Structure 1
Amino acid sequence: MQPFQLTHKTALVTGGASGIGRAIAETFAKNGARVVILDFNETQAKEVVEAFKAEGLELQYKICDMSKAEEVQQIVDAIASQNKIDILVNNAGVAHVGNIENTTEADLDRIYSINIKGVYNCAKAVIKHMKGNNGVIINMASIASSVGISDRFAYSMSKGAVLTMTYSIAKDYVDQGIRCNSISPARVHTPFVDGFIAKNYPDNQEEMFEKLSKTQPLGRMGKPAEIAHLALYLASDEASFITGTDFPIDGGFIKLNG
């Protein structure tokens, strides 16, 4: 058997209809997993599943608002009644630009409900199904979990919480066979980045793309597939000796800047 295979394993990927989540869903499916995408955007989820079918990959999707605990639990329980849940990737999240002064209470509540409460809801929903079954939880943190980044007050707060939730889950459930790790990307080239640049810098998009790319010492943004392959390793049996650890994938940002 080739390494990094997820054959006969069921993986839930939140926010799997776009960007990094889509790359993770595709990579897991190509390596044998039964993948269920949990996403709020039904149009995108349908398009992704149809695109994967054209490649010969079988994935499913469930429309889910990760901020609603009861909805998440019902969906997770229904999936678990059909197949044992082996892997959860908490990838769904939203961004926000601003310091504490120009972050409104509504902004903070929105970030909290998805980036923090959503991770809590999904992890709590799967825990009971993973006990004693060698389950794996991978949380998508960020370099903003560990270092200060200008104008990212609410986002940094939320990703700091994701990092410490990772440590807590790993500690509390290590004796029950559950591994929990996090991934901390720097800037990754996704449709979100293109949309952000187009919206905020319509007259100098190429210049801004180049400027943002060079904030990483390697001189470019990460690729969704690079994040996905790290997630594949952490989800696989080859990583069975790893828990309670954060994995920066950042082009040298944390250690080489400054």
Structure 2
Amino acid sequence: MPALASAVTVPSDRFDYTPPPAALEARRILVKPNLGYPVGPPVTVSMAVLGAVIGGLRQHNPKAEILIVEGVCSKVAFDVIMAKLGVHQLLTDGVQLLNADDLELWEYPNRAPRAVRFKSMWAPRLLQEVDCCLSVSAFKRTQLKGAPLISASLKNLYGLFPRAKYKARSPNSRGQLHRPSVPLVLQDVYHTLGHLFVGGVVDCTEKFVSHDWQPDRGQSIPLGQVVYGSDLLSVDRTACQVGQEVVPDYITALEQQVSE
């Protein structure tokens, strides 16, 4: 099997999660799943894939405290969404579920040589109080301003930003993070929070495709794969290849910045 630094692709029905090295001795592990809407897969990550991630962490590190942290993007309440999606079945001993909007905040500096918009961004302080962070996402393509937007392990981090600070017209979403554009703001997201994430998983069992901006209304296309690794950009690039999508410019731009 290839090193986790380069992404691994496996059939969904044979997904047996191997955590990155940083998770093996970690005392506290933060898992950020894509569960922001009251709609099942592929709008959100499947419980089968999220459960396999939790199971893999438990198998390789039985003593770790696992914190599932999400912030929803819906008028439906957090507790209602989590119950509808079946998250509570994963909450065994040592596994907790936390609402990102309820957590104490911290101002994270933007490590990029030049910020696109945000010189710093607010997110839960908890991110720096755990030993490692993992992103577990769905794989989606929506349309914004006439251009396709790919959502995978990096875009999944949007759910960590407090709606109280980043809302625009709607209090239920994070409209400030759409200006000047999501692909540009994602560069700031990577350089503020992305570097804290030592692993990513993209549930490509099905690809979600929306013909407009709505991330919870569209069609599903079977792919039957899961992509995972220790680098969010490599994981997202591979997910695009699996899903036969053009690798978005924001991934290419970030790869160039990281290599410089």
Find the structure with the greater CA-based Rg. 1
TM-score, scaled to structure 2: 0.41
TM-score, scaled to structure 1: 0.41
